[in-house]
A and B are shown apart, each in its own frame.
Chain A
Amino acid sequence: MTANSIGLTKKDYSGAVSTLCTGCGHDLISNHVISACYQAGIHPFQLAKMSGIGCSSKIPAYFMSKSFSFNSMHGRMAPITTGAKVCNADLTMLGISGDGDTASIGLGGFVHLIRRNLPVCYLVANNGVYGLTKGQFSATADKGAKLKSGAVNPFETIDLCTLALDIGCTFVARSFSGDAKQLVPLIQAALKHKGTALIDVFSPCITFNNHDGSTKSYNYVKSHDVVLQELGFYAPQEEVLVDYQEGSKELITLPDGSKILLNKIDSRLHNVHDRLEAAKVLTEARHKGEVLTGLFYINEEESNLIENLNLTEKPLAYLNEQELRPSEAQFDWVMNLFS
């Protein structure tokens, strides 16, 4: 087996055998995460796999068993990831949640994590239904979409990408679990992004939401998918050997020197640094029934939560007694304040 840039083989990135339904889109996500981390040379030690509850949140069990993992509570991935990242900013955080976990029970945590610009790749395996409880609508189901039973969703959908844009998310992308070419570089860039990177991945539920009338089925997503860009990821040491033409291609440098190359396929989004334009393009596409995928918005300027807290270089988690307990002189100073 070939070793990657840090001398590890793909086997070092493997996880447990999946217990999801055969053909589940989520298993493809596991594979893409493995490829992304292996190719980008992200060491399993460095990664923390975070999740909530649901089919989506089982995914971390199926890749990179050498990484620490926190399969938390339903809807609580965001705050738990926040606490962990603040206390050990050296960890690269990969959060994997679902549409129920994020758009319903965890919506509060989701938006507040974004507001704080916590450095995390927040990947939503979005299939529009609750799988583990056997097929109820989730809040990302499109209005008018049908359940297997024929029941029609009368409610407006929550579009995670436009919501994220509205509250200042600094990296907003959408992809399809069947599109390795697009999703692998997106995950790589998201893991290297300075703040919160949302990747809303349409990942069809083979058992409960893959029928006619569903707008999250393989067929529907494939036939309505409009890919905005071709994407390429380059590690810091890699040379970018592409013709770089102003206008159709853009090379964006991430904080550690790695780069993401955008090669525009669809011209409607002119500027991935313009939040308003991204929101407009996305909303228009949704109204037309298109599934727009690609990188919609990126901002590497905005300060993240770790910077705002102005923490010491050494992670809070590793500070020892000597570093944590104030001196006797400081203690005396305090006592004098109250005497």
Chain B
Amino acid sequence: MANLTSINNFVICVGTVNGSGSQSANNILLKSLFRMGIPVGGKNVFPSNIAGLPTWFWIRASEQGYLARRKQADVMVAMNPQTLSEDQKTVKPGGYFIFNSDIGVINPETKRSDVHYLGVPFKKLVDQATDQVKIKKMLINIIYVGVLANLLRLDKETVLSCLKDQFGHKDSVMTPNLKGFEIGYNWVDENNTEIESAFKTAFPFQAEKRNRDKKYVMMDGNTAAALGAIFGGCSFVSWYPITPSSSLVENYIKYADNLRTTETGQKKYGVVQAEDELAAMGMILGAGWTGARAMTATSGPGVSLMSEAAGFSYYAEIPCVVWNVQRVGPSTGMPTRTAQGDILSTVYLSHGDTKHPLLLPANIKECFDFAQHAFDLAERLQQLVFVMSDLDLGMNSWVEEAWTYPTKPYDRGKVLSEADLEKITTYMRYAETDGDAIAPRTLPGTKKMNAAYFTRGSGHNAKGLYTEDSAEYKEVIDRLARKWQTAKKFIPVPVIDDQKNDVGIIAYGTTDMPMHEAREILNSKGIKTDYLRLRAVPFTDDVKTFIQNHKVIYVIEQNRDGQMAQLLTTEYPELSAKLVSVRQYDGNPVTAENIFEPLLKHAVQNKIVEVLL
């Protein structure tokens, strides 16, 4: 079991009990690696529960920037007696199992011969750190941070700065945590011989400081989206709390309070916590109608409740933005697990002929950008725009290059001013004027006798008057269909890497995270791939071209039914024979294996590889 030293390339998993305060400890580990300049990502695998159930935190450091989930960990830190035997299976052959030796003994029957075991007497150590019984449970966490920091050779100064960020606001919190950290750290030094004999060789995983030439940020997608909404001019938010979207609005509130409060303390934003999602959606309709940039954030069950209002928005042409931070469905599903399962239900949300543009962010920069762009799009198209995030993007920590200050002017769409109305005798709210299927709107409060119109979800003509006349009904509804074409000029185009290979991959959102790694592996096995990452629905012409130019297209996504593949099939029926749907829908973020294994299998079975070779 000889190990070569592996610098800045390792996967750590920490198994704890939720509600035990391990989150802060894990953040310190993650942040320390981040601040050392190492590409790193963190994923929290947690139950839909407040306290007492198992939870795991995964950290992956990778010099190549492969930060997606990996199925097995190099180092497992097992702190939870409930999962002590299960957690052993998580370790990669040759890996390390560091466990709390006070929570149980390793059953010889489950003990693996290909794993190094190290018991740490956490109870004894925490007793040294404090005699306050109340905080012992919390403090144990910081002790494993100390142990890992020493084993991994983390830069101690950096760890201490992160510790200070986390606990420094209060001496009474900082002091015991600092002590706990030191106890864990020193335990490694004091037990060097024992550790070496347990590990047989020196611990191979080491962190080494790297100098970044650019500034980087570590953030979750919900925070990035909240900031994007603030910089993008969102002035009204209504919401009903739901996992995994709640932190998006909570961060909006937190940062808007700082960034959008006048010197005299007045707010340039309004947030109303609604009684349910029906109301949250209703409020943003009312807000969008008045001309404000209005948003809500929700997840699958909330989106279902918003269905009727989504149709209203579509038909009455009211701009607003909804973030769907997707979780596993159907129904309540697995609220704390990730998925891309709402594509079809969201794009066609509501009864009648209804469809909504979707934006598909794949990283935190796109959360920030699309949060802004969604408002431009909504106001330009006078439409409800959905941004399809997911739990993995929204709630996990991503490290990316820092963004630049946004300077692109807002697109407030076609709004007639009092001066504009002066030149018009009869204003018709739903009449097209410029050949782009978009009818100029007026805002309530406009002081002109011809400004007002009647907003309704019932059948209406170009003037906005009630109608049951077939021709008048069709005039409006056909214009809405043409607006779908206009949308293609304003949505973000796909990101395409096309080297004229035979095999193409189409994916979107967080499925992108392991794509680089998966394609490298496929490449090493002789399959060269091209890649198109969708960033919006409707599809632009380059999607069609990409499919046309490849012999086979693997559409990879995180749902059971291959929803995006279905949407592509509907859009391009003549090309559907080229599409092969690859699906990962177990609630976990996608790994590189989830992509290359089925792809390879299909390619071999269908002799696509032979063609290539």
Contacts and interface: CB of A to CB of B under 8 A. Distances in A.
B385 interface: no
Interface string A191-231: 00000000000000000000000000000000000000000
B266 interface: yes
Given A73-B308, A73-B457, A87 B294 contact: yes
Interface string B334-346: 0000000000000
B447 interface: yes
A316 to B, nearest CB: 4
Contacts of B269: 316
Nearest to B231: A325
A86 B236 contact: yes
Given A319-B268, A339-B216, A339-B217, A71 B452 contact: no
Contacts of B267: 309-312
Contacts of B108: none
Interface stretch (B82-90, B184-192, B277-285): B277-285
A321 interface: yes
A315 interface: yes
A66 B453 CA distance: 8
Interface in A82-98: 82-88, 90-91
Interface stretch (A169-177, A289-297, A329-337): A329-337
Contact of A79 (B215, B283, B445, B454): B283
A312 B287 contact: no
Contacts of A16: 465
Interface string B303-322: 00000110010000000000
Contact of A87 (B266, B270, B449, B453): B270
Contact of A73 (B223, B232, B282, B406): B282
A316 B280 contact: no
Contact of B453 (A68, A88, A309): A68
A324 B466 CA distance: 36
B272 A86 contact: yes
B454 A61 contact: yes
B330 interface: no
B399 to A, nearest CB: 10
A321 B265 CA distance: 19
B235 A88 contact: no
A108 B279 contact: yes
A288 to B, nearest CB: 34
A104 interface: no
B443 interface: yes
A167 interface: no
B410 interface: yes
Contacts, number: 217
Nearest to A111: B275
B528 to A, nearest CB: 37
A184 interface: no
B458 interface: yes
Contacts of B285: 72, 80, 83
B293 interface: yes
A167 B413 CA distance: 41
Interface string B440-466: 001111111101111111100000011
A148 to B, nearest CB: 27
Interface string A21-38: 000000000000000000
Contacts of B451: 45, 68
A84 B312 contact: no
A324 B293 contact: yes
B427 to A, nearest CB: 12
Contacts of A84: 286-287, 289-290, 444
Contacts of B466: 61
B39 to A, nearest CB: 14
A112 B227 CA distance: 29
A91 B445 contact: yes
A129 interface: no
B475 interface: no
A339 to B, nearest CB: 5
A72 to B, nearest CB: 7
A73 B456 CA distance: 8
A37 B309 CA distance: 30
Contacts of B449: 12, 44, 66
Contacts of A313: 266
A109 B446 contact: no
B282 A76 contact: yes
B307 to A, nearest CB: 11
Interface in B388-426: 402-403, 405-406, 409-410
Interface of A: 12, 16, 44-46, 48, 60-61, 65-73, 75-76, 78-88, 90-91, 108-109, 111-112, 116, 305, 309-313, 315-319, 321, 323-326, 328, 330-332, 334-335, 338-339
8 contacts: A61-B454, A73-B312, A76-B282, A83-B285, A318-B291, A330-B258, A332-B405, A335-B215
- Report the 8 A-B pairs with minimum CB-CB distance, sorted nearest first: A83-B286, A79-B282, A83-B283, A84-B286, A79-B279, A83-B287, A87-B292, A324-B233
